[in-house]
Amino acid sequence: MMKRVLLSCFFFIGLIKMSLASGYNLYGIYPTNWWVGMKNPNLQLMVHADNVSDDHISVSYPGVKLLKISKVENKNYVFIDLYISPGAKPGKIKLHFDGGEGDGDILYELKPRRKGNGTEFAQGVTSSDVMYLIMPDRFSNGDPSNDRVPGMLDQSLRRDTVFNRHGGDLKGIQNHLDYLQDLGVSALWLNPVLENDRPERTEHGYAFTDHYKIDPRLGGADAYKNLINEMHRRGMKMVQDAVYNHVDINHFFVKDPPMKDWLHQWPSYTNTHYKDQVLFDPYASAIDKKIMSDGWFTPQMPDLNQSNPYVANFLIQHAIWCVEEFGVDGWRIDTYAYNDLAFMNRCNQALYNEYPKISIFGETWVHGVINQAYFCQNNFNIPYKSNMQATTDFQMLFYGIQAALTQPFGWTEGLSRLYTTAAQDIVYKDPMREVIFLDNHDIPRFYSVLDEDTTRYKMAIAWLMTFRGIPQMYYGNEILMAGTTSPNDGYVRKDFPGGWNGDVSNKFTEAGRTTKENSIFNYYKRFIHFRNNSSAIKTGKMMQYFPQDGVYVYFRYDNKQTVMVIMNQTDELKTIDMSRFSERVAGYTKAYDVSDGMEFALEKKISLGGRYTLVLELRR
């Protein structure tokens, strides 16, 4: 029987009420609350308390039926399966615990669902959006009072090093929504916001220690709700970053696991080998497949056993809980290839069932279009069929636009790589869902990849905002933030200047930016706003012509609009014979140049300077 009373963090945020006769050492119940009217009426509660398996448990609430109580290896856990009938009303379920040393009740809350029951939020991020990725700790400090939180393991707060926390938070992001909307951004993807209570390197957020707690150093649950509510009021969307594969070694269910196989166990420490090919290689060995999927990501990030049904239920219910509790619109999944893929299909489908418009894309940092397409909806006739809508398109980055702007032109090099990578879109069910980008929090900033050459950088911007898919920016792209991952990835995660009181310059304002920075900011803004008003780019078709003599041409078009994009990667002036493109240009007599806002007569030939991307809206 449980002895002392210990109010967990969940009582502090008001999600669970406790009324006990004899005193329980209760650590938590997960999920911390649920809702009536969910499409899936089943709910599995995980109760974590000292020796709770010794107790007899009963449930009393109209419309709620106790299906099963499961006791597991660790006596500090029980799993309670409930059926919540369609007619159940919001209120508090009484969970009665009766043991040899006394008894007590826990009141578990059932809430009414959000308005629309999953149809008026979770709208999904689509090719009509421009998404902006932010690492909250490095963007803006809106509430200095939460910079350090007593009792948490990481008490660092040093902006002079990239290895410690800097104090950015959710309020800081909310304070700059005007800036982001002025730029034209319609969706935010934040690096994970869940608690990371570990001794060091907590700025990135990818090592959860409590799934049901928004990190208090970011402002906690209230700040997250306030940010999302304000975004929705403005017509903006929020994408949450999910991590299913691993947690931090300080997670409560790692320090006190419900059962031995809660984590993948090995005779001695075994790291994943990161070779995704073995998952689809017809010649792969069983041990190579097992190490890829079951090996730990790092020694500090234990690998969850998603084939364990209790682990699977915990993760799936948490995903649904986040969408319903906070109203997020999209779901980005970290390290997708390392998860149990059967589990991922099940988890994705659970989200689709409750939220039919939600968008889901996964990180697939792999090498090869086939490799990448294997993990999302594709046209392969193979045993494993992924139901994830799309991926972060590393192929279009590394083997497409990066090659186009860093390699000399050739039959297979330079712009030919971009063309060839796009030609392989035949493998995807819907290439327009692919998330295209120039950089993110794990790789060198593209401005640095291009040796801080703004001429080529503008070519990249024009490509990003006119190509197929969902464009994703990384915070600071628009003000020429630079950095590489050598010697450490922290150098691509520097602070946005102006996000902290006392910063020498404030890049959120025109006055705080240099002439060069304003030039790029305005270039981004011009192309984003053009894109936001372009039906051809947002939802239209694409046609490309194979590159010749260092020039690559593609079109975005529908029955309302035609946009022509001409990329010249050489240093030389090129003359473009428009007759080659008569299939798309016939009937047009004028062209609007997006970069300078000028309209001119469309001649039979167009001259294009070196290192330039010309984007034209064709007009009659």
The residues spanned by each domain of the chain are 9-111, 131-533, 541-619
* Tens-digit pLDDT profile for residues 165-179: 999 999 999 999 999
Contact partners, residue 570, CB within 8 Å, separation at least 6: 409, 549, 550, 551, 610, 611
Residues 502-522, mean pLDDT to the nearest whole number: 98
The answer to whether 165 and 154 have CB atoms below 8 angstroms apart is yes
Residues 85-93, mean pLDDT to the nearest whole number: 97
273 in the Ramachandran plot: left (φ > 0), alpha (ψ -120 to 50) or beta?
Answer: alpha
* Tens-digit pLDDT profile for residues 432-473: 999 999 999 999 999 999 999 999 999 999 999 999 999 999
Alpha helices by DSSP H, 433-568: 446-449, 454-464, 515-532, 535-539
Confidence of residue 101 (pLDDT cuts 50, 70, 90): low
Looking at the structure, give the CATH architecture of the domain made up of residues 9-111: Sandwich (2.60)
* Tens-digit pLDDT profile for residues 301-354: 999 999 999 999 999 999 999 999 999 999 999 999 999 999 999 999 999 999
For residue 99, the model assigns a pLDDT of 79
293 in the Ramachandran plot: left (φ > 0), alpha (ψ -120 to 50) or beta?
Answer: alpha
What is the Cβ-side half-sphere exposure of residue 387, based on CA atoms within 13 angstroms? 12
The answer to whether 202 and 154 have CB atoms below 8 angstroms apart is yes
The answer to whether 49 and 24 have CB atoms below 8 angstroms apart is yes
For residue 307, the model assigns a pLDDT of 98
For residue 100, the model assigns a pLDDT of 58
CATH class held by domain 541-619 = mainly beta
| Residues taking part in catalysis | 334, 363
Residues 268-289, mean pLDDT to the nearest whole number: 97
Is the pLDDT assigned to residue 2 strictly greater than 90? no
Contact partners, residue 27, CB within 8 Å, separation at least 6: 6, 8, 48, 49, 76, 252
Tokens of 174: 């909310």
The answer to whether 143 and 127 have CB atoms below 8 angstroms apart is no
Is the pLDDT assigned to residue 614 strictly greater than 90? yes
For residue 116, the model assigns a pLDDT of 85
Let me know if the fold of 131-533 is the same as that of 541-619. Answer: no
The share of the chain scoring above pLDDT 90, in percent, equals: 93
3-state secondary structure of 525: helix
The pairing of beta strand 551-557 with beta strand 562-568: antiparallel
The share of the chain scoring above pLDDT 70, in percent, equals: 96
Cα–chain center distance at 297 = 18
Q: CA-to-CA distance for 221 and 527, rounded, in angstroms?
A: 35
Tokens of 550: 């260092």
DSSP annotation of 432 reads G
**Peptide bond just before 267 cis, omega within 30 deg:** no
CA distances from 239 to 47, 220, 330, 472 (A): 29, 17, 4, 12
Residues 404-430, mean pLDDT to the nearest whole number: 98
For residue 3, the model assigns a pLDDT of 34
CA angle, residues 207, 209, 211, in degrees to nearest 5: 100
CA distances from 412 to 287, 367, 421, 610 (A): 36, 17, 11, 20
For residue 441, the model assigns a pLDDT of 98
Three-class SS of 34-56: EECCCCCCEEEEEEEECCHHHCE
Alpha helices by DSSP H, 184-303: 220-233, 252-255, 286-294
For residue 103, the model assigns a pLDDT of 78
What is the residue-averaged pLDDT of the chain? 94
- Find tokens 């691509």 and name the residue: 492
Q: CA-to-CA distance for 369 and 317, rounded, in angstroms?
A: 32
What is the Cβ-side half-sphere exposure of residue 438, based on CA atoms within 13 angstroms? 30
Contact partners, residue 501, CB within 8 Å, separation at least 6: 141, 144
For residue 4, the model assigns a pLDDT of 29
Contact partners, residue 240, CB within 8 Å, separation at least 6: 190, 192, 193, 322, 323, 326, 328, 330, 331, 332
Residues 369-385, mean pLDDT to the nearest whole number: 98
Domain 131-533 = CATH 3.40.640.10: no
Q: What is the pTM of this model?
A: 0.95
3-state secondary structure of 188: strand
